[in-house]
Copies of this chain bind each other. A is one copy, B any other.
């Protein structure tokens, strides 16, 4: 029997997650109590048909109509529903970004054009295009497109639909597009997530916000009864208790900046600029896979390997900042790795 050895610790503790692009420290004590009291009914009862109460709550908070909202089994399912509802369209994807934009649209026969994600917003040309998929701040680069620039682009191409991934909209203090913008802009299709914003990837619930006609088309291809009663309950709880879930974004950004600054002092790494608490790091002293293997096996730390994403050149990892204590562990581990090279 091995006890208290590093390897048994590694097996039993989940790794320190620098690899997910989600908020790392949600405070879930009150929510857990709320759910524990409702455990049996969350299993025993179907979710509400068409999720009317939840859609009403989301629409009211954004001064929209319930028919502007459709609920999906996670934001990824939302992208597949959009891709299916508008099968075969011509679309532009800025890369690197979330790979399911590409996988979803390819499944449904879209004709895709890829633009480099570091293009300035005012230089994006969409003549002859029908859709443009944009994530801001973008995952994995962390690049923010300003609200003003996005509104200019969306206004410049009124016949192009813009699929705007709002998953990281709370990961910045700068003004972003907001769901109520669909009122003046029938060509915006927002996708929102509970996973990223609230650090709750286990739930599988997301939603699309758009003009009623668009939502009607998407609703036609969303699988009925695919969101769990618990996910709906959590979503409603979050909307009723927003203060419990406010992201301490300034503090998180300070920690991220400090981590970036210190990583820049390590030879063999190149930290890419980012507006979000996650960022890309080019690895010059090894392959990304080697670094990731070392960190996981020797330090029980997880990073995300971005090397094979479309639009990425060279060996690249994505790091999502945690708190100062965890960040110090990561710095120490990466320093040890690079010095051994």
Residues on A lying within 8 angstroms of B by beta carbon are 14, 20, 26, 28, 31-32, 35-36, 39-47, 73-74, 76-77, 80-81, 100, 103, 107, 199-204, 220-221, 223-231, 234
In the bound assembly, the distance between CA atoms of A31 and B39 in angstroms comes to 9
Name the residue of chain B whose CB is nearest to the CB of A80.
B223
Residues A76 and B226 in contact, CB atoms below 8 Å apart:
yes
In the bound assembly, the distance between CA atoms of A72 and B199 in angstroms comes to 23
What residues of B have a CB within 8 angstroms of the CB of A28 in the complex? 39-40, 43-44
Residues B226 and A202 in contact, CB atoms below 8 Å apart:
no
| Distance (whole angstroms) from the CB of A224 to the closest CB of chain B | 5
Residues B73 and A44 in contact, CB atoms below 8 Å apart:
no
| Distance (whole angstroms) from the CB of A36 to the closest CB of chain B | 5
Q: Which of the residues B80, B81, B204 comes within 8 Å of A228, measured between beta carbons? A: B204
In the bound assembly, the distance between CA atoms of A38 and B241 in angstroms comes to 22
Name the residue of chain B whose CB is nearest to the CB of A233.
B202
Max chain B C-beta neighbours (<10 A), residue from A45, A202, A229: A202
Residues B220 and A74 in contact, CB atoms below 8 Å apart:
no
- Contact sample, A vs B, 13 pairs, CB 8 Å cutoff: A26-B43, A28-B40, A32-B39, A44-B199, A44-B200, A47-B202, A73-B223, A76-B224, A76-B225, A77-B225, A80-B224, A203-B229, A228-B231
